[in-house]
Structure 1
Amino acid sequence: MLKGKILVVDDEQNILDLVVYNLQAAGYKTITAADGKEAIEKYRSGQPDLVILDVMLPEIDGLEVLSTIRKETQVPVIMLTAKKEEIDKVLGLEMGADDYLTKPFSPRELTARVKAILRRSGENEVKTTQGTIVNGKLKIDTIKHQVFYGDKEVDLTAKEFDLLKLLITNPGRVFSRESLLQSLWDYDYYGDTKTIDVHIRHLRMKIEEDPANPKFIKTVRGVGYKFQE
C-alpha cells in the first residue's frame, strides 16, 4: 500500500537511486529531479506530499527552490547537503525547511525522518470550516476576526491576529523574524526585528496560561518562532 508521494531532488545519480530505492521499499511513491529548475517543475506538476531537496544543485540552487516552494505551499521539506557549517543549516530552517541531513547519511535514518514528518504533518492538520480555524483550545474566526481560548474571547489587535493566524496554520514550522516582517508588515528586513518580539510577547500574554513558559508559541533560539500544537 502506497503511503504518499515523495519528490527527491539531487544531482548525484547514485544518491538519487539509493534514496528512491529505500523510499519505494518503505511503500512510498517517488518522483525525481536532477536540478533546481526541474525540481520546481516536478513539484508543481506532481503535487508531492514531501520533498527531499539537495542544497547544491545546478540551474537553481536548493535554497532558491525551497524559497519558491514556500511561497506556494507548506509541503514538508527535508534538506540534504554536503556542507557542515551551522550557518547553512540555520539558513535552511529559517527559510522553512522542516528537517536537515548532512551527507553522507543513512538511508534508513532518512526514511525514518520522512515517516515521522508525514505522521506529524497529518496529526497537525488544522481544521478549517467556513472561515473557522481550530487548533486545540484555540479557535479563530477569520471572517469575524475573532479569537477564542476555550469559551473565552481574546481581544487581539489586527497585527496580533494576523501573526497568530500565520503561526497556527503552520504548526511546527519555524519562522524567522525577518520572514514574519516580510509576510505581515509587507516590507523587507533592514535591521530591526524588535517589533516581532514585542508582538509575540503581547500575543503570549493573551493566549498563554503562563506567558513566561509558553506552550503554544515557542522561541527557537537563534532562528525565530514556531507554533507548538
Structure 2
Amino acid sequence: MNDVMILVVEDDPSIQRLIAVALETQNYRYQMVSTGKMAVQDVLSHRPDLIILDLGLPDMEGVAIIESVRGWSSVPIIVVSARSDDKDKIRALDAGADDYLTKPFSVDELLARIRVGLRRVKSGLNPQEDPVYVNGRLKIDYAANLVYVADKKIHLTPIEYKLLCLLAKHTGKVLTYHFILKEVWGIYDNDSSALRVFMTTLRKKIEADPANPTVLQTHVGVGYRMVNVHEEK
C-alpha cells in the first residue's frame, strides 16, 4: 500500500466510486468525506498529502474550504467540479487551489494531476530554492540569471525572465492572469493583453514548436501553467 494519504471531498456517490477505483488502481490510501465541515476536520486531524475537492458541497462552498486550509497548510488541492465557468475556476485558483478539473474528467488526467501535486510534496523543495532548475530541455541558472534551452543560452528580457521564473516556481500549478499580473507587474488588473504578448515571445524562445507548446500550457480564460514534462508524459 502506498504511504500517500489523499482526502477526497465529494458528495456525489457515482463520482466517489469513480475516484475511489482510480486511487485503488495506484494503491493510494484515501479518506472519503461528503461535507465541507468533515473535510476541514479531516485535514486538521489526518493531515492528508493531497486533497481532491468538489466545489458544490451541501453545507459550504468549496472556495471557503480552500481559504480555510490555506490559512495554515500548503497541501496540494485539486478541484474537481462540474462548474466550467472561467469565473469559478479563477476564484478557486486565486483562493489557493493548485489545479482544476472539470467534470466529466478523464481518470488518466486526474491521476496525472495527482502525480504532479505529490511530486512537489515529496521533493520538499520550492524549485526556485535550488540554484538550478531543470525541466526537460529548459534550464534556469538562478544564481547567474541565465536560461538555457537544449544547453544553448538564450536571451530573455527582464520581464520574460521574471515571468518564466514565476511559472517555474509554481511548476504544475495553474496560475491565473490576475495572479501573474500582480506578481510580475505589481498591478491588479484584468487586462491580460500585455501578458499574452510576453507569453507569445517567451514561447518562441523556449518551445521546440511554439504553435504547439509542451512546456507553457494555456488554460483559456483562466491563466497559464508550467508543465512538468517528465510527469505529463
| Equivalent position of 1:50 in the other structure | 50
| Equivalent position of 2:216 in the other structure | 217
* Ranges in structure 2 where 5+ consecutive residues have no aligned partner: none
- The one-letter code matched in structure 2 to 1:52 is I
Identify if the C-alpha distance between structure 1 residues 69 and 159 changes in structure 2 by more than 3 Å, giving closer, same or farther: farther
Identify if the C-alpha distance between structure 1 residues 37 and 179 changes in structure 2 by more than 3 Å, giving closer, same or farther: farther
| Equivalent position of 2:2 in the other structure | 2
* Ranges in structure 1 where 5+ consecutive residues have no aligned partner: none
Q: Map Cα deviations across residues 63-97 of structure 1 (whole Å, 9 max, x no partner).
A: 3434566796472514244xxx5316x63277243
Give the superposition deviation at 1:134: 0.4
Q: Map Cα deviations across residues 89-114 of structure 1 (whole Å, 9 max, x no partner).
A: x6327724342325xx9xxx75x554
| Equivalent position of 2:78 in the other structure | 77
Identify if the C-alpha distance between structure 1 residues 29 and 180 changes in structure 2 by more than 3 Å, giving closer, same or farther: same
When the two chains are superposed, the root-mean-square deviation of aligned CA atoms in Å is 4.0
- The one-letter code matched in structure 2 to 1:145 is N
Does structure 1 residue 100 correspond to structure 2 residue 102? Answer: yes
Give the superposition deviation at 1:205: 3.1
| Residue pair 2:101, 2:110 contacting (<8 A) in 1 also | no
Q: Map Cα deviations across residues 16-54 of structure 1 (whole Å, 9 max, x no partner).
A: 975786467543222355544553564466443432212
Output the CA distance in 1 between the equivalents of 2:183 and 2:38: 27
Identify if the C-alpha distance between structure 1 residues 184 and 32 changes in structure 2 by more than 3 Å, giving closer, same or farther: farther
| Residue pair 1:217, 1:226 contacting (<8 A) in 2 also | yes
| Residue pair 1:49, 1:76 contacting (<8 A) in 2 also | no
Matches within 5 A, 1:114-193: 114-119=110-115, 130-189=130-189, 191-193=190-192
Identify if the C-alpha distance between structure 1 residues 49 and 210 changes in structure 2 by more than 3 Å, giving closer, same or farther: same
Give the superposition deviation at 1:202: 2.5
Give the superposition deviation at 1:207: 1.9
Output the CA distance in 2 between the equivalents of 1:205 and 1:17: 42
Identify if the C-alpha distance between structure 1 residues 178 and 21 changes in structure 2 by more than 3 Å, giving closer, same or farther: closer
Give the superposition deviation at 1:219: 3.0
**TM-score w.r.t. length of structure 2:** 0.68
Give the superposition deviation at 1:172: 4.5
| Residue pair 2:49, 2:118 contacting (<8 A) in 1 also | no
User: Number of paired residues?
Assistant: 217
| Equivalent position of 1:194 in the other structure | 193
Secondary structure in structure 2 of the residue aligned to 1:183: helix
The farther-off stretch of 117-126 and 164-173 is: 117-126
Output the CA distance in 1 between the equivalents of 2:218 and 2:199: 10
| Equivalent position of 2:39 in the other structure | 39
Secondary structure in structure 2 of the residue aligned to 1:86: coil
**TM-score w.r.t. length of structure 1:** 0.69
Output the CA distance in 1 between the equivalents of 2:206 and 2:143: 20
Give the superposition deviation at 1:183: 3.2
- The one-letter code matched in structure 1 to 2:78 is V
Output the CA distance in 2 between the equivalents of 1:193 and 1:79: 26
| Residue pair 2:182, 2:188 contacting (<8 A) in 1 also | yes
- The one-letter code matched in structure 2 to 1:97 is D
Give the superposition deviation at 1:222: 3.1
Identify if the C-alpha distance between structure 1 residues 16 and 40 changes in structure 2 by more than 3 Å, giving closer, same or farther: farther
Calculate percent identity across the aligned residue pairs: 29
Give the superposition deviation at 1:162: 2.4
